[in-house]
Amino acid sequence: MRVCIPRFLQIGKGGMDSVPELLAAIGGLKKPLIVTDKNMIALGYVDRLISILQASGISFEIFDEVVPDPTDTVIFSGINVLVSAKCDCVIGIGGGSPLDTAKAIAVMSQGSTDLENYRPPAISNAPGLPILAIPTTAGTGSEVTHHTVIIRSSTQEKISCRGEAFMPTAAVIDYELTLSMPKRLSIDNAIDTMTHGIEAYVSKKASLFSDRMALDCLRLVGPNLPRIYKDPEDEKARELLMFAATLGGLAFTNASICLVHAMSRPLGALFHIPHGLSNAMLLPQVTEFSVQSAPDRYADCAKAMGIASTLDPDSVACKKLVQALYLYQENFEVPSLSAYGLEREIFEKSMGAMIDDAIRSGAPKNNPKEPSQEEMREIYEKAW
């Protein structure tokens, strides 16, 4: 078993203050490229980071053109800024898109700039520039994963670039930065975290290490997701969900994601449904499909989340899990694909491409039950 994790995790409120120390500890880094989006600028997070850097006499450059679902075109613009400013490292600050963009800039600036060379099964282990990740959402786990998802502009295809080069060197896990997240995004991201925990634990690639991370992730998400739905200002719940997101990231990056993420991917690429939400739309349906192929593993998930009692037999715990996930969808107002506004005709026309893309991701092979194309069609129809 080989485990890949960042060198430093700065965990707790006010963690951003430690950025200068982290840059020094990584190896005397002198000029970071701050990779972010306009929303992070508007929220004042980037100004705060700039003040911290300036107070320590660290010069920097800013690239704030990150878009949701980052494309190779945006990565190239970022690389141009990095090269002309002679930056020696990259700081990603924001949600999954700024972090994924930062990771891609750090790696592709030191290697090939052709996205095709990162298409799976390619693995990029040769180090790029050091990456410092500061997530402001609790969900993607991108701050501790060794992959990044980039869209190829010419085809709109999502390419999941993988390898140790994409693992951040350091991550700042500060829940205070998540307090400004809108309620909908907070819920969807927490369901994304839950999906990471479940998929890592039931994955055919699960290991001793990923199991521990996954179960603790689920122990934290189970009780705290309803708490932030009831009260998005609940700081303790935010703190625990932030840590759960990091544990979920460590779990799935060292195991694998499975069928939910595989089928969710084309919903993002083709219809621009945010990642957390598209997972939330599919999680119960996929779990219902898969649960009988690994009842002991799904039962453990239900027990960790507090959905089932530790005394429940696996069959009972699995039943409770599927029921609870459907109930979450209802209670947390996760829309169906039709309620989200997809047009039926386009949905039907896209079905073949969606299934192809899900298969191409490779993740269905890690699912406890590998679906046929017809079974995938049925799952998408159930989510309609």
Residue 149 CB, nearest approach to Fe ion (Å) = 9
d(CA 278, CA 136): 20
Please, which residue, 64 or 192, has the CB nearer to Fe ion?
192
Please, which residue, 188 or 192, has the CB nearer to Fe ion?
192
Residue 68 CB, nearest approach to Fe ion (Å) = 14
Please, which residue, 109 or 137, has the CB nearer to Fe ion?
137
Position closest to Fe ion via CB: 192
Residue 275 CB, nearest approach to Fe ion (Å) = 6
Please, which residue, 137 or 169, has the CB nearer to Fe ion?
137
Residue 249 CB, nearest approach to Fe ion (Å) = 9
List the strands of the sheet with 131-135, edge to edge.
8-11, 170-173, 131-135, 89-94, 32-35, 61-63
The tokens describing 30, both together, are: 């002198």
What is the total residue count of the chain? 384
Residue 344 CB, nearest approach to Fe ion (Å) = 27
Residue 251 and residue 210 in contact, taking contact as beta carbons nearer than 8 Å: yes
- Residue from 204, 198, 145 nearest 368 by CA: 204
Please, which residue, 82 or 258, has the CB nearer to Fe ion?
258
Please, which residue, 192 or 239, has the CB nearer to Fe ion?
192
Residues 6 or more apart in contact with residue 60 via CB below 8 angstroms:
31, 32, 33, 34, 50, 53, 87, 91
d(CA 129, CA 314): 46
Backbone φ and ψ of 218, nearest 5°:
-70, -35
Please, which residue, 217 or 322, has the CB nearer to Fe ion?
217
Residue 155 CB, nearest approach to Fe ion (Å) = 22
Residue 250 CB, nearest approach to Fe ion (Å) = 13
d(CA 203, CA 348): 29
The tokens describing 189, both together, are: 């991201």
Residue 343 CB, nearest approach to Fe ion (Å) = 26
- Residue ranges binding Fe ion (CB under 5 A): 192
Alpha carbon 191 to chain centroid, angstroms: 11
Task: To the nearest 10°, report the CA torsion of 21, 24, 29, 34.
Answer: -10
Please, which residue, 147 or 238, has the CB nearer to Fe ion?
147
Positive or negative CA dihedral for 361, 367, 372, 377? negative
